[in-house]
Amino acid sequence: MALQLGDTAPDFEAQTTEGPIRFHEWLGDSWGVLFSHPKNFTPVCTTELGATAKLKPEFERRNVKVIGLSVDPLDAHEAWSKDIEETQGAAVNFPLIADPDRKVAGLYGMIHPKASDTLTVRSVFVIGPDKKIKLSLTYPASTGRNFDEILRVIDSLQLTSEHQVATPANWKSGDEVIIVPSVSNEDAKKKYPEGWREEKPYLRYVSSPRR
């Protein structure tokens, strides 16, 4: 059965470009982004890994560890990393999992027979410090991911995990948020004594509690 939001992210041991890891131990108390690549030495994946490397400070600021995966062996990852640095202007600065036996890809449902019997699709899993899956996305092999969007979603997930709010469409960090319906007006007055903007009883906007 496919992994669902709220499921515990499967633990595993794997070889990576930064040495062997046990996934849950490697994550520690951090958030995590695990994302797969259909194959090494492919054009779209090359641009994605370069983009992620450039965004590493942004992930670190959010206490997020990033790790990539493809079903190619470790020596191919190391050779590919040189191409990424040459073409994208950024060296890969996070681990890449070597998964030639497709063990990890199988655990996370990263191989979709309707897309390919052997190669992974572009999966993204955002995992919380509690090791629960908070977000999953699946892209076709032909479409590169928007990592600014992944950062935006992480901002929302972290904010809403700390406060009883939700984020509206096209929300960005610092924008107004929505008080969730389970918070009564009486309780909302205690949490937000400065008040809120109400468009409907179920649609109450308030300034972001942080950032």
Active site positions, annotated: 45
- Mapped onto helix, strand or coil, the DSSP state of residue 51 is helix
Residue 78's contacts (CB-CB under 8 Å, 6 or more residues apart) are: 17
Burial level of 75, CB count in 10 A (0-12/13-18/19+)?
Answer: exposed
Determine the Cα–Cα distance for residues 54 and 139; give it in Å rounded to an integer: 21
Asked if 11 and 22 count as a contact pair (C-beta separation under 8 A), the reply is: yes
For residue 5, give Cα distances in angstroms to 29, 61, 159.
19, 24, 17
Question: Please, what's the b/e burial string for 128-162 (b: 16 or more CB within 10 A of its CB; e: otherwise)?
Answer: beeeebbbbeebebeeebebeebbbbbbbbbbbee
- Cα-Cα-Cα-Cα dihedral of 161, 122, 34, 17, to 10°? -160
**Residue owning tokens 């999992």:** 97
Neighbours of 82 (CB within 10 A): 11
